[in-house]
Amino acid sequence: MSMSRKSLQHNFLFTTRGGAATLALIVALSGEFGMAQPPKSLAVVNSGNGGTVIAPNSLASALGKGIGASTESADPPLPTILGGVSVQMTDSSKASVLVPLFYVNPNQINFVIPDGVAMGMATVKILNGDSTPMSTTVQVAPVAPGLLTTNGAGTGVAAAIAIRRSIATQTDTEVPVYHCDANSCTSTPIDVGADAQVFLELYGTGIRGRTSLANVSATIDGVSATVLFAGPQGLFPGLDQVNLVLPQDLQGHGEQDLVLTVDGHAANKVRVNVK
């Protein structure tokens, strides 16, 4: 496949062949938050990093024993009732809304924080037919960067794709970032040799509210990587995308931490392997 430099500065790579499968994986990961046991009381977390801060137009997970009756998932346009469950959010301005849902199981509900929700503490209530609905509070901020990982828990190998552009021919090839078997996913070394330029696409949430692209930065093993795009992925609600250039200075570094910072807020560290 090939694409212009302009497309690499935007979020269009999911329109290429194979993109639907990658999107399906990422959405599944954001819906499987790697929870060993549900918490005893209701908790709402950032679906990317498991943190306690969320942002407008981001993915969030409600965790609690028995909050859902069955396992259901939905595609856009997302419903506000799924598997007999609704989630009501009341923000700091006292405005209430039923949020869009995309995944429900007996101990977890994943949803999209609505656009325009007020900053500050919000109350989230689970409406599942119980006479006394479970509720909790969560902090809403302009940005709450979280990156998706292959284990669904916000740690380890990044759920990402890479594009390798030949300098000689200016043709692009998708190269693997990770490999999964029945048990786990491991990183795949990415070649950043002098004959090509490699672009990495990360997927996450809570990023699009950044004040400017200049206030988004990334380092891999302490080496700065140029960020070309940071904003909505465009095909799935709440999903964000970050495109960056892998520096050739990373050649031979192996698997290292990637640190993304948005408006001074660091996302969860993810692992990337450079050959």
Report which of 29, 71, 68, 70 is spatially closest to residue 50, judged by C-alpha positions. 29
What's the pLDDT at 116? 95
- Amino acid at position 27, single letter: V
What's the pLDDT at 20? 43
Low pLDDT (below 50) residues in the chain: 1-8, 10-21, 24
Q: What does DSSP assign to residue 155? A: -
Sign of CA dihedral 101, 87, 155, 212: positive
**CA angle, 263 as apex, 257 and 268 as ends, to 5°?**
30
What's the pLDDT at 39? 79
134-138 long-range contacts, CB within 8 A, separation 24+: 134/41, 134/42, 134/64, 134/67, 135/42, 136/41, 136/42, 136/43, 136/44, 136/62, 138/44, 138/45, 138/52, 138/53, 138/54, 138/60
What's the pLDDT at 27? 52
**Residue 179 CB contacts under 8 Å (≥ 6 apart), including other chains:** 185, 186, 188
d(CA 217, CA 51): 20
What's the pLDDT at 3? 32
CATH fold of 35-141, please?
A: Immunoglobulin-like (2.60.40)
Residues of the chain with CATH 2.60.40.10: 35-141
What's the pLDDT at 235? 87
Count of Cβ atoms closer than 10 Å to residue 75 Cβ: 10
d(CA 136, CA 167): 53
Beta bridge mates, 201: 161, 243
Count of Cβ atoms closer than 10 Å to residue 188 Cβ: 16
Q: What Cα–Cα distance (Å) separates residue 93 from each residue in 115, 121, 123, 136?
A: 14, 9, 11, 16
SS3 content of the chain, % helix, strand, coil (to 5): 10, 45, 50
d(CA 20, CA 14): 7
pLDDT tens digit sequence for 31-61 = 555 555 677 799 999 999 999 999 999 999 9
Q: How far apart are the first and last CA of the chain?
A: 23
Count of Cβ atoms closer than 10 Å to residue 87 Cβ: 25
What's the pLDDT at 6? 36
Rounded to two decimals, the pTM is: 0.90
